[in-house]
Amino acid sequence: IDGQAAKSCNTKASAAIGKTVTTIEGLSTDSSHPVQVAWTEGDVPQCGYCQSGQIMAAAALLSKRPNPSDFDIDAEMADNICRCGTYERIRGAVRSLGSAEDLEEETGDV
């Protein structure tokens, strides 16, 4: 919501009134957003249940903190639980991406 990560499971719809909401479908129409590509190339998903939230959290993290450390990644994404245990692949995918400036150059947005 307005560029900040928000979890749909605990965010009231009224909190989004008058604000810009980006969903996983809004990152790109063809899965070409750099974070989505990194997920595919890193073979991150297992069952996929948590992956929309993981990708959106990663995109929000990278938009405010280019080249995050493992600590940054873990801290930002700690509330996104993956029952399949893909955390190492998630860290790898996030680390594989360039800075937020690189993402903006490629997509015009993060």
Distances from the Cα of 28 to the Cαs of 3, 5, 8, 47, in angstroms? 15, 17, 19, 21
User: Which one, 12 or 83, has the nearer CB to ligand FES?
Assistant: 83
User: Measuring CA to CA, how many Å separate 49 from each of 80, 86, 95?
Assistant: 11, 11, 22
- Residue 100 to residue 67: CA distance in whole angstroms: 8
45 binds ligand FES (CB under 6 A): yes
CB 12 within 8 A of CB 67: no
52 binds ligand FES (CB under 6 A): no
36 is an interface residue for ligand FES by CB under 6 A: no
**Is there binding between residue 24 and ligand FES (CB under 6 A)?**
no
The first and second tokens of residue 106, run together, are 């490629």
Question: Cβ of residue 34: shortest distance to ligand FES, in angstroms?
Answer: 20
Q: Does 88 bind ligand FES (CB under 6 A)?
A: no
Q: Does 3 bind ligand FES (CB under 6 A)?
A: no
Which residues are near ligand FES by CB under 6 A? 45-51, 82-84, 86
